[in-house]
Amino acid sequence: MKKQSPFDEFDFLELFYEEMIRQGRKHNLIRITINKEIVEYIYEQKSHSATEKEIEKLADICLANNWLEQKTIGVGQYGNLQLTTTGLGVITSKRRRKEIEDQKSILKKHLII
């Protein structure tokens, strides 16, 4: 059984992408706030155990790389975070790379048999 990797900044960006798809809205209309609810969501939906502080550190990495930006004043440092165009490019690139790797794995499995 494959060991689950830790929840990282790319997994955090993935939350924004999934919310875009779920709501059928553009990236600049999706906002996520780091709070107890998002920590519970990550645990329940993604099977990752992370604290609010750990998620905040991931948000700091994303903010520093200009993958996320704060859109509302007065809601705290981690309130109403929004995916930037750069962040959208990062996550779509990661998703595409994973699709290609998954396809290679399928081909390898069929060629070996």
pLDDT digits (tens, 9 = 90+) for 48-85: 989 999 999 999 999 999 999 998 887 888 999 999 99
- The C-alpha torsion from 5 through 7 and 10 to 13, rounded to 10°, is 150
Show me where the domains of the chain are located: 9-112
For the cut 50, the answer to whether the pLDDT of residue 97 exceeds it is yes
Task: Give the sheet arrangement for strand 81-83, strand by strand.
Answer: 31-32, 81-83, 68-70
3-class secondary-structure state, position 30 = coil
Neighbouring CB atoms inside 10 A of 7's CB total 20
CATH code that applies to domain 9-112 = 1.10.10
pLDDT digits (tens, 9 = 90+) for 104-113: 776 666 665 5
pLDDT confidence band for 5 (50 / 70 / 90): confident
